[in-house]
Amino acid sequence: MARAGFQCVEAPEQASLVLADLTLPGAHAALTALMATPAGASLSVVVWVAPGEEAFSTVDSFHPEEVMTSGADCHEVAWRLRRAMKHQYKREEVRRRQQDLALLVELTADYAESLDVEALLHDVTRRIAERLGVGRATLVMLDREGEGARVVAASDASGPQDVPIDLERYPEVREAARTGKPVVVEDAPHHPLFEGVQEELATRHIHTLVALPLIITGVVRGVLLLRARGSDRRTFAPHDMDFLNTVAHSTAVALRNASLLLSVRGKTEREMSARIAAEAKAASLETYHLFFANVREGVAILDDRACVLSLNPAGEAILETSSEAAMGRHLVDITQPLDETVLMELVTAARRGESRSDVDMMVRLPGGRRLTLCFSAGPLEDGRRAIILSFRDVTQARLLADELHHTKDFLERLIDSSVDAIVAADMQGRIILFNKGAEAIFGYTAAQALGGLHVDQLYPQGVSRRIMRQLRSPDFGGRGRLEVCRQEVVSRTGQFVPVNMTASIVHEGGREVASVGIFTDLRDRMALERKLSDVETRLEESEKNAVIVALAGTTAHELNQPLTSVMGYAELLKRKLKEEDAAYKPVDIIYREAERMAEIVRKIGRITRFETKAYMGSQQILDLDKASSNDD
């Protein structure tokens, strides 16, 4: 039996299956006595009989799952026992589900019939604890704000309760309320969720916890809490969780229905007195109605619980409801804000005597349309503890503001991405716009420029006033405009920076409000122009030298022939004449001057560059010695 996976127990209450050997003396009577006990009635029976018709005819009274003869071997016995055990498990599951269903039917019927909700909830916790075998089942209801909680029913209490609890000591309740999902913890003293309260759980021998949220109209309003001690069951099977989830859902529905029923019938004295008080307050506020009826903004008068006492016509039009329909309803139910917390903070502040204004909030109208309303709230100072709430539709205004904001961001990015400097100043000369290009040219940061820099500091003295005169004149591009012109501006270091600039005056409603200048840095362009000018100068010099060299070569070539003839004939004459002849000396002078001319021609032939020297005051002539020199 042990090898087959079975465990033998001493007491029938611990068993699921009984194996009886009816071949032994007294076995039939012993099995009959066992089946007559409460524990035996739920056991599955497998019997072992002797072969033969007589033995088989005696076992029908026991309704056995399996019948074996004494010739069966151990493998057959184990197989038949396992099959009988499967049938037993199925019957137990069916029986358990029938019990759960019967309990759910009873609870549902009680929920539908009973008006004493508190007593009913106490009875529910008691039945759940008995059904699941846990020491304590508790129903915890949460405040509307979710900051506090109260125990309204407990299985081990004598009746309904109303005991506040600290949620810091019940982290499983806080977690179920936060997530809206069941929380199951099987080893609470060592679970990280219970850090800070682990010692308390260990002292109270609490090991297994289950917290199931009670969701009403989409919001967790309560938690069904089960805490099992060490002596209780330590785990919850899937069918137990199914049962608990169904109970939690039924309880949530019952609480919602009970709340609606009480709201419709107005049976409790508290609600009756509140309604009477609301009607009295509404009557006392009648003096304000004429004034509120002519106000273009929506105006609602609220009591100290944020329920509507009065709603003016503008408010009816904005919220698409009537004052009669809104009377007595909570503000949150009427406006259905996307962020309920912000609206309730506004009302809470007014309840404390503080006034708040211009709080934007998106609300949902009954038709599903969404509006952005701007709320203001304050206490109604007449001793009635009422709250006055005003609101106006700012949906289109906020959409336009968003579009303008996006457009402004785009234009600012566009201006900042310009390589040219863009500077704007108001009519007093204070800088109001200074882009990245302006930072590069002037050397100031945008923060420095906008922090008090005057536009006069960007120009040489008197230039800014001259530019304004030109802007107002029709002669420089038209009134209010200045065509592109060359100008110098002053950087932060005092350096004069050449720029091309254009400017204009910005008008608003026919009035001058600002001036804008656009500056193009010319430093790189002028440096390039200087380089081009130097290249052109060198090119001209090179061309001039080429002309001079070509002219010199031609001149030397053309003069050499006649000079050679002159020198030749002069030398012949000298040879024929004697020194004492009167013509000798003139011929000698002709010869020497011709040689001198020949030397000059040779210099002309060696000219390689254009070099001049002063001649007769301011005149310049070619310097043959430097122009024909081979020195650099």
| CATH of residue 599 | 1.10.287
Least-confidence region, from 329-343, 567-581, 598-612: 598-612
Among 526, 558, 580, residue at a domain's last position = 526
577-630 per-position pLDDT tens digit: 888 888 888 888 888 888 888 888 787 777 766 677 777 766 777 666 676 666
Per-residue b/e over 410-448, b at no fewer than 16 CB within 10 Å? eeeeebeeeebbbbbbeeebebebbbebbbebbebeeee
Question: Cα(71)–Cα(50) distance, rounded to whole angstroms?
Answer: 8
Burial of 563 per CB tally in 10 Å (0-12, 13-18, 19+):
middle
| CATH of residue 88 | 3.40.50.2300
547-564 per-position pLDDT tens digit: 777 777 777 777 777 888
Question: What DSSP character marks residue 133?
Answer: T
Half-sphere exposure of 302 (CA within 13 A, CB side): 26
What does DSSP say about strands 308-311 and 356-364: parallel, antiparallel, or unpaired?
A: unpaired
User: 155-164, 415-424, 595-604 — which one is most confidently predicted on average?
Assistant: 415-424
Nearest to 79 by CA among 3, 148, 175: 3
Q: Is 70 exceeded by the pLDDT of residue 17?
A: yes
Q: Is 50 exceeded by the pLDDT of residue 26?
A: yes
Q: What is the pLDDT of residue 6?
A: 78
pLDDT band, very low/low/confident/very high, at 334 (cuts 50, 70, 90): confident
Question: Cα(540)–Cα(549) distance, rounded to whole angstroms?
Answer: 14
Question: What DSSP character marks residue 536?
Answer: H
Q: What is the pLDDT of residue 108?
A: 60
Q: What is the pLDDT of residue 520?
A: 92
Least-confidence region, from 96-110, 146-160, 251-265: 251-265
Burial of 274 per CB tally in 10 Å (0-12, 13-18, 19+):
middle
User: 318-322, 524-528, 567-571 — which one is most confidently predicted on average?
Assistant: 318-322
248-257 per-position pLDDT tens digit: 776 766 666 5
Q: What is the pLDDT of residue 261?
A: 42
SS3 324: helix
Domain that holds residue 61: 17-96
Among 263, 282, 309, residue at a domain's last position = 263
Does any domain span residue 101? no
pLDDT band, very low/low/confident/very high, at 163 (cuts 50, 70, 90): confident
Question: Cα(357)–Cα(320) distance, rounded to whole angstroms?
Answer: 23
SS3 321: coil
pLDDT band, very low/low/confident/very high, at 273 (cuts 50, 70, 90): low
Type of residue at 325: A
What's the CA angle centered on 154, arms 148 and 157, to 5 degrees? 125
Question: Cα(35)–Cα(44) distance, rounded to whole angstroms?
Answer: 10
389-399 per-position pLDDT tens digit: 889 899 998 88
Q: Is 70 exceeded by the pLDDT of residue 536?
A: yes
Least-confidence region, from 23-37, 127-141, 278-292, 344-358: 278-292
380 & 423 share domain: no
Does any domain span residue 283? no
Q: Is 80 exceeded by the pLDDT of residue 210?
A: yes
CA distances to 456, 490, 497, 535 from 485, rounded to whole Å, are 18, 16, 14, 27
Does any domain span residue 549? yes
Nearest to 156 by CA among 134, 175, 183, 186: 134
348 & 391 share domain: yes
84 & 136 share domain: no
Q: What is the pLDDT of residue 454?
A: 92
Q: Percent helix, strand and coil across the chain, each rounded to 5? A: 50, 25, 25
pLDDT band, very low/low/confident/very high, at 519 (cuts 50, 70, 90): very high
Question: What DSSP character marks residue 307?
Answer: B
Question: What DSSP character marks residue 150?
Answer: E
Q: What is the pLDDT of residue 267?
A: 43
Q: Is 80 exceeded by the pLDDT of residue 336?
A: yes
Q: What is the pLDDT of residue 258?
A: 54
Number of domains in the chain: 5
Among 476, 509, 526, residue at a domain's last position = 526
514 pairs with which residues across the strands? 426, 506
Q: What is the pLDDT of residue 459?
A: 92
Please compute Rg for the chain using Cα positions: 56
Backbone angles phi, psi at 140, to 5 degrees: -110, 130
Q: Are 501 and 484 in contact (CB under 8 A)?
A: yes
326 & 440 share domain: no
Distance of CA 473 to the CA centre of its chain: 53
Does any domain span residue 282? no
Question: Cα(495)–Cα(505) distance, rounded to whole angstroms?
Answer: 27
302 & 259 share domain: no
Helix residue spans in 133-237 (DSSP H): 171-179, 198-203
Type of residue at 341: T
Q: Which residues contact 358 (CB under 8 A, 6 or more apart)?
A: 374, 376
- Helix (H) / strand (E) element for 406: namely helix 395-416
Q: What is the pLDDT of residue 498?
A: 92
234 & 175 share domain: yes
Q: What is the pLDDT of residue 275?
A: 55
98-131 per-position pLDDT tens digit: 666 555 556 565 555 555 566 667 777 777 777 7
Question: Cα(417)–Cα(420) distance, rounded to whole angstroms?
Answer: 9
Q: What is the pLDDT of residue 110?
A: 56
Q: What is the pLDDT of residue 535?
A: 83
151 & 52 share domain: no
Type of residue at 292: F
Does any domain span residue 496? yes
| CATH of residue 483 | 3.30.450.20
Q: What is the pLDDT of residue 262?
A: 43
Q: What percent of the chain has pLDDT over 70?
A: 82
Q: Are 84 and 44 in contact (CB under 8 A)?
A: yes
Question: Cα(84)–Cα(91) distance, rounded to whole angstroms?
Answer: 11
248 & 136 share domain: yes
Q: Are 441 and 489 in contact (CB under 8 A)?
A: yes
Q: Is 50 exceeded by the pLDDT of residue 501?
A: yes
Does any domain span residue 31? yes
227 & 317 share domain: no
62-100 per-position pLDDT tens digit: 778 778 876 667 777 778 788 877 777 777 666 666 666
- Helix (H) / strand (E) element for 259: namely helix 238-265
- Euclidean distance between the first and final Cα of the chain, in Å? 123
511 & 556 share domain: no
Does any domain span residue 613? no
171 & 88 share domain: no
368 & 339 share domain: yes
Q: Which residues contact 450 (CB under 8 A, 6 or more apart)?
A: 431, 432, 434
Question: Cα(234)–Cα(232) distance, rounded to whole angstroms?
Answer: 6
SS3 65: coil
Comparing 584 with 423, which gets the higher pLDDT? 423
pLDDT band, very low/low/confident/very high, at 456 (cuts 50, 70, 90): very high
Question: Cα(332)–Cα(419) distance, rounded to whole angstroms?
Answer: 54
Q: Is 60 exceeded by the pLDDT of residue 264?
A: no
Nearest to 159 by CA among 116, 102, 100, 222: 116
Does any domain span residue 382? yes
Question: Cα(337)–Cα(331) distance, rounded to whole angstroms?
Answer: 9
Per-residue b/e over 298-319, b at no fewer than 16 CB within 10 Å? bbbbbbeebbbbbbbbbbbebb
What's the average model confidence in pLDDT over 510-534?
88
303-312 per-position pLDDT tens digit: 878 888 888 8
